[in-house]
A and B are shown apart, each in its own frame.
Chain A
Amino acid sequence: GDSVTQTEGQVTVSESKSLIINCTYSATSIAYPNLFWYVRYPGEGLQLLLKVITAGQKGSSRGFEATYNKETTSFHLQKASVQESDSAVYYCALRGSNAKLTFGKGTKLSVKS
Chain B
Amino acid sequence: DTTVKQNPRYKLARVGKPVNLICSQTMNHDTMYWYQKKPNQAPKLLLFYYDKILNREADTFEKFQSSRPNNSFCSLYIGSAGLEYSAMYLCASSRGGTGQDTQYFGPGTRLLVL
Residues of A within 8 A of B (CB): 4, 9, 38, 43-48, 51, 91, 95, 98-106
Quick check: B42 and A4 within 8 Å, CB to CB?
Answer: yes
Question: Could you list 11 further interchain pairs (A-B, Cβ under 8 angstroms) beyond the known A45-B107, A91-B42?
Answer: A4-B42, A9-B40, A43-B107, A45-B106, A46-B92, A47-B105, A48-B102, A48-B104, A51-B102, A100-B45, A103-B43
Quick check: A44 and B107 within 8 Å, CB to CB?
Answer: yes
Give the A-B pair count, Cβ closer than 8 A.
43
SS class, residues of chain B in contact with chain A: loop
Contact residue among B40, B45, B108 (Cβ-Cβ distance under 8 Å from A101): B45
Residue of A nearest to B48 (CB): A100
Name, among B42, B106, B107, the residue most crowded by chain A CB atoms within 10 Å (CB to CB). B42
In angstroms, Cα B90 to Cα A9, docked, is 20
Q: Which residues of A contact B100 (CB under 8 A)?
A: 95, 99
The answer to whether A105 and B40 touch (CB under 8 A), given A46-B90, A100-B99, is yes
In angstroms, Cα B44 to Cα A45, docked, is 15
Contact residue among B40, B45, B98, B105 (Cβ-Cβ distance under 8 Å from A45): B105
In angstroms, Cα B90 to Cα A45, docked, is 8
Residue B65 CB within 8 A of the other chain:
no
